[in-house]
């Protein structure tokens, strides 16, 4: 699992494998190469290293955290 953290340092989504989930555990898209796609397969954000950016321009959306064991966060 990797968290998706906004510019203020707050997690607003997470990745398990290549599937992106909201904090309410709802699938909202997927990571495909250098892009995060919505559920319809349309590119939403660009991924460069651990940074997540708007498709156009240099607006920073947030950052992906390091991989962590998701079993540590389950009840």
For the chain, give the secondary structure using H, E and C.
CEEEEECCCCEEEEEECCEEEECCCCEEEEEECCEEEECCCCEEEEEECCEEEECCCCCEEEEECCCCCHHHHCC
The predicted structure's pLDDT at residue 69: 78
The predicted structure's pLDDT at residue 72: 55
Which of 15-24, 48-57, 63-72 bottoms out in mean pLDDT, i.e. has the lowest?
63-72
pLDDT at 5 over 60: yes
pLDDT digit string (tens) for 18-52? 999 999 999 999 999 999 999 999 999 999 999 99
For the chain, which residues make up each domain, given as ranges? 2-68
């Amino acid at each position: 699992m990797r968290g998706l953290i906004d510019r203020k340092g707050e997690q607003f989504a997470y990745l398990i494998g290549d599937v992106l989930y909201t904090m309410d555990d709802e699938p909202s898209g997927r990571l495909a190469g250098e892009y995060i796609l919505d559920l319809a397969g349309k590119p939403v954000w660009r991924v460069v290293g651990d940074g997540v950016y708007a498709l156009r321009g240099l607006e920073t959306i947030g950052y992906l955290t390091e991989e962590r064991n998701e079993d540590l966060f389950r009840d």
